[in-house]
Structure 1
């Protein structure tokens, strides 16, 4: 039995982990690479031969760095099942179609304005490819042991992070393999805490924040301060946001700030069709989060939903203070690009990044102090006030990951630290080795390891 790391190593994106048992092959996660160009180019490489004869795919959750390559897989001939929690299946319907439409729009825009280096520019995949992949989704309830391939049984547990996120346990030949996926925070104001796991023979654990602790400052105070200062300048606060999870958390905090009188009743716009659709799922999957139905309704009432392209363009013409939440969270695509182009050159405005910015993304460049960024073939100056807020992260930090690991009653035979940039992954590796005494290492991209116990 072997495990091959086809993504999620040396980076927080592109998660793909291939389990091979004799002639049976199961892929855990099927994500897009994002960030640096040399990573993004991997998305365009020919499908690895190992992925052409899969028996099953399992998703930890619906974020595109874990699910966004599925349309390519389906386009190239995969027609087997894709297992995930019901909430992940529902979110994937939204995210994959939106991703496909966005790629088609970007290719069309590049061709119309002639700024692509390729002639013609083309999308990585189309809406039809995404629809083909979505027909393969097979919902699996939490804690329900499910055979997914000969000799392989699947068990999902709550991971927190976003709706539907799960840790993936595979039982194979008397061994247990555990994939953490993205772990949420134990005290997240919306999502429930990750479930503890007592044992696994082989563990793959994420390390997005493996080298740092989240700030202890009050999220509400910081958010109120940025918005109030921007209001005093008669400016607009632009918040690039992940459409699933982060947008809803921002809506919740802004509703609370207004309710408690900590900010004026400034207009709040949610300009992301994907985030709008995802928000409705919080009422559908009420058992997966901490909000009451009344709180779900209240946070939505406090936000003006932007649905059409014309409404989105109108926001760029606003002359009164406002808060605009728009995807994507790392400014890699989506409607936020148009808002950046219009709002970033004005020093009265603020740009508030609300989560992790992967290396090589526009968000990372802006947070690092870039004076301009390239947007749709133009260099756009960054004169707006830039703020970065890590307190809204949906990822467990290093201490929270270690606390989750301490829930194991016996150490795994081998632990692999994945889904982290190099410093974060190696820092967490050292902590696991020194503090827990476990066998642990950071795998290399495309590395294959044997999972057979040493006799």
Structure 2
């Protein structure tokens, strides 16, 4: 019997990464992510998987972002007890992200029940903080470059992918086939992370396509962020910055620290990092010095450029402060968490600013704000948007289309087939076309739920 792969997520969409690899009576799941964005995608999180969790023999994680790891607590809650293999950085980030994800879901459900805006009575979290804590002991750390056996006669190797701490591409070898999962690839010129390792030889490649239809601008983050914050400081406004707690928050803190050192921003401009998850992640840079570009002094500056906000009461107290100030808060596409309260409080004032820091998946509040909408729905009500909307084009932690193709070209030989995943339909199909026309490789965009040979 041959090796097959079933696309249970990140097929025809940029979210919900889950790939089920089968050979004989064994099965292995690469990534176990949540769907985000459009409601019809988010509803998939509540639908049962087409395989019983205790029939999955092992899980491999490319990295810790919730669209790649956020379904793990539910998988374990529903009966999975096998190993979850990841790099040490990914393990450490999951210890932060997954409990926080459960906590945010509990808080959002409780808030919906108190204010009565949910269509469900009562509103329930997909999983709780305790569910997330219960799954963490299953995660086993494996160093980059070490080949191991996730299952008998299956071999796997994690290779550095840049992007965020611990992010990996995965080479899986089974039944004489070599299957390469790109994971989310970082940029070779990223301000924080080391560049991705070259692609190893493989028979089948799954390539992400988040930016498969575009290239990054020449401007760097400092050139974009500096003038925006100068305008904000001059008019005494408040900048609300939805950030991914892992990666984007640290890139913004590093950039603000550099701008202050260069005198491009007032040293006294107050900056707040209002996300316990982002606070913990920022300090992880001290524990994983080999995975990023920052010196010890730069890490120190990054961790001290903002007031770290931990408690809910501290977060609420920010509403009583006047500008100028900058509030960085999760989540990056404004899908949940404390940033929603800051948006609801500040978006209606023309002196204020909302800074979007990268890709905004269709169907998210971030995408609504980026489109120029004059209102956004938050906690069951329409919030007027008068604040200046700034979308940073250079803050992405993803490789762009040219960089994705360069990574594919770094492979020692041509694969039999390439599956283009983890991209919106236009991006994925554009990347497919470029792979076929420029590399002359066989490529296709799989449909959700489809099964293909490896």
- Normalised-by-shorter TM-score class: over 0.9
Name stretches of at least 5 consecutive residues in structure 1 with no aligned partner: none
Contact 2:54–2:81 (CA<8 Å) still a contact in 1?
Answer: no
Deviation per CA, 1:111-148, whole angstroms, max 9, x where unpaired? 11111000010000112211121110010111101011
Per the alignment, residue 299 of structure 2 pairs with 296
Match of residue 275, structure 1, among 275, 278, 286: 278
Residue of structure 2 equivalent to 1:439 = 442
Partner of 2:319: 316
Instruction: Pick the aligned partner of 1:222 from 221, 224, 228.
Output: 224
RMSD, aligned α-carbons: 0.9
Cα offset for 1:374?
Answer: 1.0
The question of whether the paired residues in 1 share the 8 Å contact of 2:171 and 2:200 is answered with no
Aligned positions of 1:142-161 closer than 5 A = 142-161=144-163
Aligned to 2:392, which of 385, 389, 413? Answer: 389
- For the 8 Å contact 2:283–2:303, the answer to whether it is kept is no
Q: Which residue in the other structure is 2:211 paired with?
A: 209
- C-alpha deviation, 1:379, in angstroms: 0.9
Query: Is residue 200 from structure 1 mapped to residue 199 from structure 2 by the alignment?
Result: no
How far is the alpha carbon of 1:198 from its aligned partner?
A: 3.6
Matching residue of 1:177: 179
Equivalent residue for 1:430, pick from 424, 429, 433: 433
Partner of 1:350: 353
Note the C-alpha offset of 1:373. Answer: 1.0
For residues 25-424 of structure 1, what are the structure 2 equivalents within 5 Å? 25-49=27-51, 51-265=53-267, 266-424=269-427
Deviation at 1:409, TM superposition (A): 2.1
How many Å apart are 1:52 and its aligned residue?
4.0
8 Å CA contact 2:73–2:134 kept in 1: the answer is yes
Give TM-score scaled by structure 2 length: 0.98
> Contact 1:24–1:150 (CA<8 Å) still a contact in 2?
no
- Range with greater deviation from structure 2 (144-153 or 154-163): 144-153
Per-residue CA shift, 1:41-87, capped at 9, x if unaligned? 00001232254401100000000000000011001000000000011
Aligned residues: 451
**1:133-166 CA-partner distances (Å, limit 9, x unpaired):** 1110010111101011122111000000000000
Provide the rounded CA distance (Å) in 1 between the counterparts of 2:394 and 2:292: 18
* Aligned-pair CA distance for 1:292: 1.0
1:273-295: CA deviation from partner (whole Å, max 9, x where unpaired): 00000111100000010111111
How many Å separate the matches in 1 of 2:220 and 2:29? 40
Classify 1:50/1:425 alpha carbon distance in 2 versus 1 (closer, same or farther; 3 Å). farther
Q: Return 5+ residue gaps in structure 2 as ranges.
A: none
